């Protein structure tokens, strides 16, 4: 929107090195500029920089591809600073850039997309995958990797598959993480599940002194759900699991599902250090955008060791960075082959901003921007990520994810998720030719090693620390102490009835925290009628002011009455027999 440009005029001082815009430029320019905005100190920025330079070299290695023109990637290091990202985007608008690759984060994508809309410059991002970046609102913003909408759909289906109903979401307070979790909540709601607690971390959480992380993890420890979804950045995620391990939250009973940030971190890790890192994360489930095996992918992976110069390993976002450059290059080729010029012109709406030290009128509008955008979204090619094509809603075709289990010596793939067939142990590309079958009986994953090393699927919840215990009244009788009796010299209660009850509780699939409360003095048998009357009227025995009973449903009440009736009948029979024997 125009108001964005006007607002930015309050902050921006353009450099004096301004490129004069030319109307009616040659249809075959010597260089075709493409801007790129990434934070090069981050994992995604490092991988993207290497991959895009490789793609630039490959495009330009064939002089016939662009018929003599050269593609030039202008990389800018945003240094994790949103303000600098805005500044550089505006400068790219001065340098006649036909497109911008990036920005890296969804926060900046929401802002910079307004510039793209107004100046007809497409923005292509494979890391800003916020589900709310709609092409209706941001027509010049294109996601060149699957939207996180599909990632959250995959996570929701995993939760349903394992039978969990409540989960906890742990995420950063930024657009991508927050809107991803919102999408997860929507997906779970349709499956009769829910996010019971959202643990939100500040975007600028201090890694050196992670007080906010520890505080949230301590809160989670006292909650009922043990299924924790971590949707964050690699640096923050690494600290979350470090503190979780220190707090004893990586043991049996816990379930951790990390989104694609974890596979990016582990795939790019030094192979020698991977076993050590994986050992500390044993049992975690994580996902990776699925890219089918192909010769192009294998060749690029083999080249990577030379390209990276020993810095960072290849992850899936490196593959998407490479293909994104080729998407733009093919669109440039289509535009030039159509006979169109690549030209830029001044935006008349900015003329009144001339003068002074600001020079916003120098911002140029891409005259063929709409046509160029159409060529981008009409792309059909086979890249290192597999088939590259956009659907009418501008989402990527065939979104799919690898489902990974982190084990002691590395990563083990337990299956796949695809929007076509759901969960499967068969690669999605082998299923696309078959009719979609999303029935529950057709959903399969391999066995998992869970936190703590167990193979049995955790139930996903425990009785919360702040939950009220079930308090059970026990008669302190003078007779039939084999059934129920107080252990001399302690407050413990023993007996046949107690043992049967405890054995029954152990058979339940969920915990039942409870305690036994004696009533009666043990010198004479307590009066059951008085006890029942006291319970129904809310009056408790004088010496048991804290006694209370809770029966969650009528069926359990009826069952309890029957059990007590049987015990009472048995007691009467035993008493009668003893009297006859005597």
Phi and psi torsions of 389, nearest 5° = -160, 145
How high does pLDDT run on average in the chain?
84
Q: What secondary structure letter does DSSP report for 225? A: B
CATH number of 178's domain: 3.40.50.2300
Tell me how far apart the alpha carbons of residues 103 and 76 are, in angstroms, rounded to a whole number.
10
Whether residues 140 and 219 fall in one domain: no
The mean per-residue pLDDT over the stretch 350-369 comes to 70
Rounded to the nearest 10 degrees, what angle do helices 106-119 and 82-92 cross at?
20
Q: Which of 389, 409, 427 is the last residue of a domain?
A: 389
* Closest to 373 in 3D by CA, of 93, 36, 139, 94: 139
Rounded to the nearest 10 degrees, what angle do helices 369-377 and 316-337 cross at?
130
In a domain? residue 476: yes
pLDDT at 563: 52
Tell me how far apart the alpha carbons of residues 207 and 238 are, in angstroms, rounded to a whole number.
10
Whether residues 156 and 281 fall in one domain: yes
Whether residues 194 and 115 fall in one domain: no
The mean per-residue pLDDT over the stretch 122-144 comes to 95
pTM given for the model: 0.79
Q: Answer yes or no: is pLDDT of 257 > 90.
A: yes
Given pLDDT bands bounded at 50, 70 and 90, which one contains residue 564?
low
Whether residues 505 and 515 fall in one domain: yes
Tell me how far apart the alpha carbons of residues 210 and 495 are, in angstroms, rounded to a whole number.
50
- Per-residue pLDDT tens digits for 401-448: 999 999 988 899 999 999 999 999 999 999 998 998 888 888 999 999
| Contacts of residue 45, Cβ cutoff 8 Å, sequence gap at least 6 | 38, 39, 77, 104
Whether residues 305 and 258 fall in one domain: no
Query: Strands (DSSP E) along 102-155, which ranges?
Result: 123-125, 141-143
Q: What secondary structure letter does DSSP report for 350? A: G
In a domain? residue 3: no
Whether residues 235 and 167 fall in one domain: yes
pLDDT at 13: 35
| Contacts of residue 425, Cβ cutoff 8 Å, sequence gap at least 6 | 414, 415, 416, 444, 445, 446
Q: Answer yes or no: is pLDDT of 7 > 60.
A: no
pLDDT at 292: 97
Given pLDDT bands bounded at 50, 70 and 90, which one contains residue 470?
confident
DSSP strand pairing (255-258 vs 97-101): unpaired
In a domain? residue 540: yes
CB 155 within 8 A of CB 259: yes
Whether residues 140 and 161 fall in one domain: no
The more confident residue out of 46 and 22 is 46
46-60, 153-167, 341-355, range with the lowest pLDDT: 341-355
Q: What is the DSSP string of 398-456?
A: S-EEEEEEEETTEEEEEEEEETTTEEESS-GGGTTTSPP---GGG--------TTS--S
In a domain? residue 10: no
Whether residues 39 and 65 fall in one domain: yes
Tell me how far apart the alpha carbons of residues 363 and 349 are, in angstroms, rounded to a whole number.
11
Whether residues 383 and 369 fall in one domain: yes
CB 427 within 8 A of CB 222: no
Tell me how far apart the alpha carbons of residues 316 and 45 are, in angstroms, rounded to a whole number.
13
Whether residues 37 and 164 fall in one domain: no
Range of the domain at 51: 29-147+295-389
Domain count, the chain: 3
In a domain? residue 111: yes
The mean per-residue pLDDT over the stretch 287-303 comes to 96
pLDDT at 568: 53
Tokens read off for 339: 């006979």
Whether residues 381 and 405 fall in one domain: no
The more confident residue out of 200 and 90 is 200
Tell me how far apart the alpha carbons of residues 278 and 271 are, in angstroms, rounded to a whole number.
11
- Per-residue pLDDT tens digits for 224-233: 999 999 999 9
Radius of gyration of the chain (CA): 32
In a domain? residue 214: yes
Whether residues 438 and 515 fall in one domain: no
121-135, 141-155, 505-519, range with the lowest pLDDT: 505-519
As a whole-number percent, the residues of the chain with pLDDT over 70 amount to 81
């Amino acid at each position: 929107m125009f108001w964005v440009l006007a607002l930015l005029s309050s902050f921006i001082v353009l450099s004096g090195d301004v490129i004069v815009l030319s109307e009616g430029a040659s249809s075959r320019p010597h260089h075709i500029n493409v801007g790129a905005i990434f934070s090069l100190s981050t994992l995604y920025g490092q991988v993207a920089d290497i991959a895009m330079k490789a793609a630039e070299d490959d495009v330009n290695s064939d002089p016939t591809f662009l018929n003599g023109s050269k593609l030039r990637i202008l990389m800018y290091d945003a240094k994790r600073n949103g303000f600098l990202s805005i500044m550089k985007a505006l400068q790219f608008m001065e340098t006649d850039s036909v497109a911008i690759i990036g920005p890296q984060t969804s926060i900046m994508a929401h802002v910079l997309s307004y510039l793209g809309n107004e100046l007809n410059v497409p923005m292509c991002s494979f890391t800003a995958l916020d589900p709310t970046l709609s092409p209706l609102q941001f027509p010049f913003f294109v996601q060149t990797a699957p939207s996180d909408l599909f990632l959250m759909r995959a996570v929701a289906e995993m939760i349903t598959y394992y039978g969990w109903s409540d989960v906890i979401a742990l995420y950063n307070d930024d657009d991508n993480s927050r809107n991803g979790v919102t999408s997860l909540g929507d997906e779970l709601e349709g499956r009769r599940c829910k996010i019971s607690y959202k643990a939100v971390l500040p975007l600028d959480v201090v890694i050196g002194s992670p007080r906010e992380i520890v505080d949230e993890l301590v809160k989670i420890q006292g909650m009922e759900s043990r299924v924790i979804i971590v949707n964050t950045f690699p640096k923050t995620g690494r600290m979350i699991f470090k503190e979780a391990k220190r707090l004893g939250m990586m043991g049996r009973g816990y379930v951790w599902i990390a989104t694609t940030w974890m596979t990016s971190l582990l795939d790019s890790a030094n192979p020698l250090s991977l076993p050590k890192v994986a050992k500390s994360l044993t049992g975690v489930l994580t996902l990776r955008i699925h890219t089918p095996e192909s010769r192009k992918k294998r060749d690029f992976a083999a080249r990577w060791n030379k390209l990276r110069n020993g810095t960072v390993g290849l992850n899936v976002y490196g593959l998407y960075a490479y293909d994104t450059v080729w998407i733009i290059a093919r669109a440039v080729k289509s535009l030039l082959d159509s006979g169109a010029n690549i030209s830029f012109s001044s935006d008349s709406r900015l003329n009144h901003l001339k003068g002074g030290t600001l020079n916003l009128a120098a911002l140029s509008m891409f005259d063929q921007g709409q046509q160029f955008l159409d060529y981008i979204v009409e792309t059909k090619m086979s890249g290192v990520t597999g088939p590259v094509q956009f659907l009418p809603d501008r989402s990527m075709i065939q979104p799919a994810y690898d489902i990974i289990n982190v084990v002691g010596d590395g990563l083990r793939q337990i299956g796949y998720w695809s929007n076509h067939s759901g969960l499967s142990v068969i690669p999605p590309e082998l299923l696309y030719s078959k009719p979609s079958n999303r029935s529950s009986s057709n959903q399969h994953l391999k066995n998992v090693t869970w936190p703590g090393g167990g193979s049995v699927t955790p139930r996903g919840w425990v009785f919360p620390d702040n939950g009220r215990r079930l308090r059970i009244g026990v008669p302190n009788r003078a007779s039939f102490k084999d059934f129920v009796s107080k252990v001399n010299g302690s407050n413990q209660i023993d007996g046949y009835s107690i043992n049967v009850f405890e054995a029954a509780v152990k058979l339940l699939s969920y915990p039942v925290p409870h305690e036994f409360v004696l009533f009666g003095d043990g010198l004479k048998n307590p009066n059951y009628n008085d006890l029942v009357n006291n319970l129904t009227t809310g009056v408790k025995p004088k010496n048991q002011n804290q006694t209370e009973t809770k029966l969650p449903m009528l069926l359990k009440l009826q069952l309890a009455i029957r059990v007590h009736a049987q015990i009472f009948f048995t007691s009467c029979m035993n008493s009668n027999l003893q009297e006859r024997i005597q």
